[in-house]
Every structure is written in structure tokens, then in C-alpha cells.
A and B are shown apart, each in its own frame.
Chain A
Amino acid sequence: GENVEQHPSTLSVQEGDSAVIKCTYSDSASNYFPWYKQELGKRPQLIIDIRSNVGEKKDQRIAVTLNKTAKHFSLHITETQPEDSAVYFCAASMGTGTASKLTFGTGTRLQVTL
């Protein structure tokens, strides 16, 4: 089955700096890669996703890049703010336009300090 590895497990940045979280996946058939943000005691919330036919996607301060050949994808957060502090999970699935089971990475705890 699919295996998703995520690094780093913890990341501390100063407010205004950029943060990068990296994930690799094992199954070349995976074609959908969402990122979830989970604040303490809350539900995971989708913040951005990318499909395998796209190399990069941006939404304001958040961007995701995908390298299908190397089977890795990354989350980039620019101009970090204290409210970005949370645990971020990457995931992979083989859905073809349909909600399908997700395999999650182990999470990255991001701390944005003032």
C-alpha cells in the first residue's frame, strides 16, 4: 500500500519568515495530494491540495509543489503569522475526481514565534 513520509516533525520559525514542509510518497499511482492543518483539539481542515496533472498551486501565502518523477511534494508558507502555528499533515490518495481513502504523513508541528 501507499506510504507517506513527512519532514520535519517539528519546525520553529520567526514571524514573517517562510516555512517549508516536505513529503514523499511511494505509490506512483497516487494522484491527489491534500494538505491539512490541525489546531490543538480541533478537526483537520483542508488548506490546499494538488492533483498530479499540476506542478504547482498557490493560494495567497500558501503554495504546494509536486514532483511526480521524484514522488515528493512540499508545502510552502510565506510571511508566517502566529495563527499559522498548528500541526500540518500531508496526504496522498488515488482518487480520480472522487473522494478516496487518504494515507497521511506523520505531521509537522509548526511554531511561529514573535
Chain B
Amino acid sequence: DARVTQTPRDKVTEMGQEVTMRCQPILGHNTVFWYRQTMMQGLELLAYFRNRAPLDDSGMPKDRFSAEMPDATLATLKIQPSEPRDSAVYFCASGSESRNEQFFGPGTRLTVL
């Protein structure tokens, strides 16, 4: 049963530190999404890639957030420097070019103190 994986599952850090979250999409999926979930804002799209190229990162604060796909099996989301308001659960999802469905990873719960 193929699944999206994410690491770390939990991260506690102090304000100002760099945070890197990683995602491995389902093998064969060419589209990767990063979502952030908070109680106040719900689920919101930060950025997404197709065939490793960024298609939309309008939901991402550009001054501190960056997203990349070094290869087809790895997507990263970095925050530098982190702030307490970045505390949230960050989900990665993947999908294919032949179907609409997206499959979510287990999420990274980030706490910035």
C-alpha cells in the first residue's frame, strides 16, 4: 500500500532556528503539494510542484519559507528563521497527472517556542 511519507513527525524548535521538513511522494506521482493546517486558518496551500518544477508558491511567505524538489523522490520545505506563528501541522500530498486524487502524508507537527 503506497503512501506519502514525511519526516520528522514532530519538531520542537526555538524561534530563529532553521527548520527543514521532508516529504517522499508516492512512487510515480509527479505532483507534490505542501499544505499547512492550523486551527485558525484551516488547511491552506503553501506551494506545489509538477515534474519537480514549482507551479504555485503564492501561499508561502517568501521571506522565510522555501520549497524545493531536489529529485523526484524528495520534496523539502524550509523555514528560516522560524517564528512562533509558524507553529502548525505541515502536510505533504502527492498526485499524478492522470487523476485528480491527492494523497496526504502523516504530517509534521511543528512547534516554535
Residues of A near any B CB (own CB < 8 A): 32, 34, 36, 42-46, 49, 51, 89, 93, 95, 97-107
> What is the interface residue range for chain B against chain A?
20 to 34
Q: How many A-B residue pairs have CB under 8 A?
A: 64
Q: Are B91 and A32 in contact (CB under 8 A)?
A: no
Q: Are A99 and B100 in contact (CB under 8 A)?
A: yes
Of all chain A residues, which has the CB nearest B43? A104
What 0/1 pattern do residues 74 to 107 of B give for CB contact below 8 A with A? 0000000000000000010011111111111111
C-alpha spacing A42/B107, complex, angstroms: 8
Of all chain A residues, which has the CB nearest B55? A101
Of all chain B residues, which has the CB nearest A1? B58
- Please indicate the chain A residues that have their CB under 8 angstroms from the CB of B107 in the complex: 43
- Please indicate the chain B residues that have their CB under 8 angstroms from the CB of A103 in the complex: 45
Q: Are B33 and A101 in contact (CB under 8 A)?
A: yes
Of all chain B residues, which has the CB nearest A96? B100
B24 CB–A CB distance under 8 Å: no
